[in-house]
């Protein structure tokens, strides 16, 4: 009974959410599309010639935003779940940390790229601390990939949750990139511990 009540309350909040409503009106697959739009307005990293890798892309909100800005570059979206076709976006289904998938990613671009974005989050278990930690692990894995595939002025943008693993993420980011900024978009729910980490300029070790 309690679980049903929680689910009902969540649905009510969702439908009252202005960004959820706007996503439906404007044809975006998720409210998170507005987060990427806001962060691009602030940091300015999406251009017509950008080559971009979208990690954990499903349902496709971020890829939709990228496709509107990137008209001459390449966009590759990767997820373990299937994703409906988006014009000007190529999709690769599979675990992005599988060596076979990684080889396909490198082969697709054929060179170092400009931007890696990640809105990946671990499947919810009901334990917020555990979910936060697992999402942090995904961020770290995405960061490791970004270090290998980005050119020296490349950008890595990823979701993280404030929690025990954040110290490790922040340390790794500052060791790996010249500039590291923590940012919470206005479209991110106030009660959420979600923030985004924007990293630019690969440090040569």
pLDDT digits (tens, 9 = 90+) for 137-184: 999 999 999 999 999 999 999 999 988 899 999 999 999 999 999 999
Residue 45 clears pLDDT 60, i.e. is over it: yes
In a domain, 117, yes or no: yes
How confident is the model over 7-39, as pLDDT tens digits? Answer: 444 443 444 465 455 554 455 767 889 999 999
Q: Does residue 81 belong to any structural domain of this protein?
A: yes
Kindly calculate the radius of gyration of the chain based on its CA atoms and give it in whole angstroms: 17
85, 159, 182, 203: the active-site residue: 159
Residue 99 belongs to what domain range?
A: 29-202
Q: CATH code at 69?
A: 3.40.50.150
- Please confirm, yes or no, whether 159 is among the known catalytic residues: yes
- Beta carbons within 8 Å of 164's beta carbon, 6+ residues apart: 129, 132, 133
State the total domains in the chain.
Answer: 1
Q: Taking a C-beta distance cutoff of 8 angstroms, is the pair 172, 205 a contact? A: no
Residues in the chain: 205
- pTM for the model stands at 0.87
């Amino acid at each position: 009974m309690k679980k049903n009540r929680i689910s009902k309350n969540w649905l009510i909040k969702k439908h009252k959410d202005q960004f959820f409503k706007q996503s439906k009106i404007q044809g975006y697959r998720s409210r998170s599309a507005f987060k990427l739009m806001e962060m691009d307005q602030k940091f300015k990293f999406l251009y017509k010639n950008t080559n971009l890798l979208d990690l954990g892309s499903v349902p496709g909100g971020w890829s939709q935003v990228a496709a509107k800005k990137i008209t001459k570059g390449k966009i590759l979206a990767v997820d373990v779940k299937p994703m409906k076709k988006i014009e000007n976006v190529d999709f690769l289904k599979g675990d992005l940390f599988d060596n076979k998938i990684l080889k396909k990613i490198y082969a697709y671009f054929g060179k170092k790229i400009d931007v890696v974005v990640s809105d990946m989050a671990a499947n919810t278990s009901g334990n917020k601390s555990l979910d936060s930690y697992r999402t942090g692990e995904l961020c770290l894995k995405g960061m490791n990939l970004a270090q290998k595939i980005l050119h020296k002025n490349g950008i890595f943008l990823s979701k993280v949750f404030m929690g025990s693993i954040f110290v490790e993420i922040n340390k790794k980011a500052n060791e790996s990139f010249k500039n590291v900024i923590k940012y919470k978009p206005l479209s991110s729910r106030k009660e959420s511990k979600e923030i985004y980490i924007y990293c630019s300029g690969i440090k040569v070790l």
